[in-house]
Chain A
Amino acid sequence: MSTLHTVNKSPFEKSSLDACLTHVSGGANVLLLEDGVYAATKGTAVEQRVKEALDSVKLFVLGPDLLARGLSEERVIDGINVVDYAGFVDLAAENDKVQAWL
């Protein structure tokens, strides 16, 4: 069963992203939103961890949350797809369930 995992915490404040990434099976989709979007940017201390995750899961980041935080799409790690709220809805519909890592 495919799952859309959502992570809304900065990886520098909370362990949600790590908890998520250590519990996803191959082929899962992970959406970064709210303060979770900081994990999607290049040059951070968690960039390597995020890039490794891209080998087994698909990563998405919510564009409006990036822009709100002054982060342009150019700052996003290659391989992470930027989606809007409509794209979020599509992801939720395409996967069998949504699991929020609150």
Chain B
Amino acid sequence: MSETIKQFLYLNRKAPYGTIYAWESLEVVLIGAAFDQDVSLAFMDDGVYQLTKGQDTAGVGMKNFSATYAALGDYEVKKIYVEKESLAERGLSLDDLQHLVWEDEDDDWAEKDSIKLVSREEMTAVMDGADVVFSF
């Protein structure tokens, strides 16, 4: 494996269940975590719907993969950027999203928030800082 460390950005702009993109994108994040890159996830536009609480897929016969987002912290995925404007446009706030955390081993395994609410401008900066952008 290469020694190169790149800034990976996974760009999520699509809602879950209507299409498979959100789920198969998450599969790449989980596999990619093993490659020790500097990983960030961006959720904007309909992508913010991926993180909502209380998803129940029993009635549509599909796998409910929303719990997997809560496991991202265990995969050392700690930087999850959610765009405020995208939430507001959809009548959502941070309270509507799952509480995602990671454990900081340098701070006695304290639980820290993974989600960072960012403005559109800040999201632009996050994108600008990436070396590689994965789109699905």
Contact = CB atoms under 8 A, between A and B. Distances in A.
Please determine if A and B sit in direct contact within the complex, based on CB atoms under 8 angstroms apart.
yes
A46 B135 CA distance: 25
A25 B124 contact: yes
B130 A97 contact: yes
A99 B45 contact: no
Contacts, number: 39
Interface residues of A, number: 15
Interface string B56-78: 00000000000000000000000
Contacts of A19: 13, 44-45
B123 A23 contact: yes
Interface of A: 1, 3, 15, 19, 22-25, 96-102
Contact of A15 (B45, B120, B127, B133): B45
> How many B residues touch the partner, as a band?
10 to 19
B124 A23 contact: yes
Contacts of A99: 11, 127, 130, 133, 135
B135 A100 contact: yes
Given A1-B129, A98-B133, A102-B13, 20 more contacts: A1-B128, A1-B131, A3-B128, A19-B13, A22-B120, A23-B44, A23-B127, A24-B124, A25-B125, A25-B128, A97-B130, A97-B131, A97-B133, A99-B11, A100-B133, A101-B13, A101-B135, A102-B14, A102-B21, A102-B135
